[in-house]
Every structure is written in structure tokens, then in C-alpha cells.
Amino acid sequence: MRIALIQHRNASDREANLAETRARVGEAAQRGARLVVLAELHTGPYFCQVEHPAEFDRAEPLPGPSTEALAAIAREHRVVLVGSLFERRAAGLYHNTAVVFERDGQLAGRYRKMHIPDDPGYYEKYYFTPGDLGFQPIDTSAGRLGVLVCWDQWYPEAARLMALAGAEMLIYPTAIGWDPHDTPEEQARQREAWITVQRGHAVANNLPVLACNRVGFEPDPSGAGAGAAFWGSSFVTGPQGELLTQADTESPETLHAEIDPGRTEQVRRQWPFLRDRRIDAYDGLLRRFCD
């Protein structure tokens, strides 16, 4: 099965971003993609660099204008489409939500980001309520999709629970980058850690991993911070963590890869990690810390 990841650079506004998405999904579909993945919060700038009440005006109900636009793109190009939106659930209740559309434009499912970061330039706890839908794969014509979002990608528990629920691949829409003030050595360590941990999820669960990041520099709108240099590097691995394709750190790009749905079965016969799990000995995982 051919899949595509659209490494996104923020354009001037929502309509410009959606127009770019529409064009690039169309190109991916012409090259045979059945599944297309977009980056985290791809319809606008990464607004979490600051804490400001006016930024909540970006949130939309689901369904809403952006879901209608993404549904139309999926339907026009006959692809399963994974998007990422700022969901307004109610006044004062907002989520960072991934949405999945079938080839006919129907909403196949949604996932609300479970792990919410709070770091300089990534003030997401101000905006997003932690997800309450759990780690449930979404069934589509392209397979059972284990969709997670950005900060979730650091947690082996999230990947494992998706695998145990029957996910056939792990998908991470992402917005992660460097602090421009960090040294080149620290920037390299951060990027390599990000790649390595996700390849580890592929290995430990014998599943393909699709990580789709945004790219490019976005200034801090308040002027107080250094801004964020999103490092791109979107990639696809196979079920042994092998890199199938990877983008660079600077350019918008559409990645293509071929995924063999039968390889997970083959690899799990050789590396039976699920068979050998000691579920009788993992009670400590339910504790914050084993004092």
C-alpha cells in the first residue's frame, strides 16, 4: 500500500494552508497514495508559543469548517486522510484533535491528544484539555490506524496500548522544533532522540510508524521568545524500525513509501514480544513513580 506524508510549512492563513494541502494531496493521490497524513495543527501557525485568550478564537467545532474542507479533499482525491485540528468542544473546553476521513469524505474517527506538554514556546496546557477517548485505533479502508499526536510519541505506553487494541500502524502528526538559541550539538541530540524513540515503538510493537512534522521557522508573535525552528525530518519506518523514507530539516516535502501490511505478521512470528510480555508483573506501571 502506498502512503504519503505531507511535511508542512505554515503559509499566511488558514485558506492558504488548506489550498496547499488540497494541491499536495492531489499530487500524492496521482502517484497512487491511498493514505495521506498531515502535520499537527496544519491549518495555521503554531499558536502555542504564547498564552493569550484571543488564540482560542482559532478553535472550531467538529464537525466544522475545517473538517468540511478536509472531508472534501479526501472525497475529491479518494484517499484516507489524517488531519489535525484545534477542537472547540464547549466554551472553555478545547482539545488538540486528530481527525480521520474515509475515501468518500465520511469522518471515520477522531483522537484527542492525551499527553499535553508545557515547555517554553510550547504552552499547550494553557489551550488543550487532555484527551478522553483513550487509545483506540480507527478503522478505515487503509487499515486500522493507531493515530496519536506529537507529545504522545515519547510514551511507549501509548504505542503499546494502540498495538494491543489492534492498530496496524502508528501515526504521529507532529509540530516539534528547536529553540534557535540551543547549540547545534543540543539540537542534533534532540532530533536524534525524537527519531530514535519512535523507531523503538516500531520495533517493540512490530508496526510501521508514520511521523509527519511541520517545517520552517515561526516567530514568537509576542516578540518575547526566540521563535520555533520546526525541524521537519518526517519519516516512515517498517515494523523492524527500518527507515523507508525521510525528509530533510528545512523543506516542505511530500514523502511516499510502500507499506506491506503482511510484514507485521511475519516479524511477530520471529520476534514474539507480545507473547512474552509479563502482564502479571507490570502493576508498577499504574503508579506515577515507585518510591
In a domain, 286, yes or no: no
Per the document, the length of the chain is: 291
Q: Which amino acid is at 82?
A: V
179: exposed, middle or buried (C-beta count within 10 Å: 0-12, 13-18, 19+)? middle
> What torsion do the CA atoms of 88, 90, 92, 93 make, to the nearest 10 degrees?
-60
Whole-angstrom Cα distance, residue 66 to residue 196?
33
**Domains held by the chain: number:** 1
Question: Sorting pLDDT into bands at 50, 70 and 90, what band is 263?
Answer: very high
Burial 16-42 (b: 16+ CB within 10 A, else e): ebbebbeebbeebbeeebbbbbbbbbb
The per-residue pLDDT for 119 is 92
* % of the chain surpassing 70 pLDDT: 100
Whole-angstrom Cα distance, residue 14 to residue 11?
8
Average pLDDT, the chain: 97
In a domain, 260, yes or no: yes
Q: Is the pLDDT reported for residue 4 higher than 90? A: yes
The per-residue pLDDT for 261 is 85
171: exposed, middle or buried (C-beta count within 10 Å: 0-12, 13-18, 19+)? buried
Worst-scoring range by mean pLDDT, 109-118, 195-204, 216-225?
216-225
Stretch 172-177: mean pLDDT: 98
Stretch 210-227: mean pLDDT: 95
Residue with cell 472531508: 71
Q: Which amino acid is at 163?
A: A
In a domain, 287, yes or no: no
Q: Is the pLDDT reported for residue 264 higher than 90? A: yes
CATH code of the domain covering residue 184? 3.60.110.10
In a domain, 38, yes or no: yes
| Active site residues per annotation | 40, 113, 150
In a domain, 289, yes or no: no
Q: Is the pLDDT reported for residue 20 higher than 90? A: yes
- List the domain range (segments joined by +) for residue 113: 2-276
Question: Sorting pLDDT into bands at 50, 70 and 90, what band is 12?
Answer: confident
Q: Is the pLDDT reported for residue 291 higher than 90? A: no
Name the nearest CA neighbour of 260 among 245, 242, 238, 282.
238
Q: DSSP secondary-structure letter at 283?
A: G
SS3 195: helix
In a domain, 291, yes or no: no
Name the nearest CA neighbour of 29 among 56, 2, 58.
2
DSSP H/E element including 17: helix 14-30
Q: DSSP secondary-structure letter at 32?
A: T
Stretch 155-176: mean pLDDT: 98
Q: Is the pLDDT reported for residue 257 higher than 80? A: yes
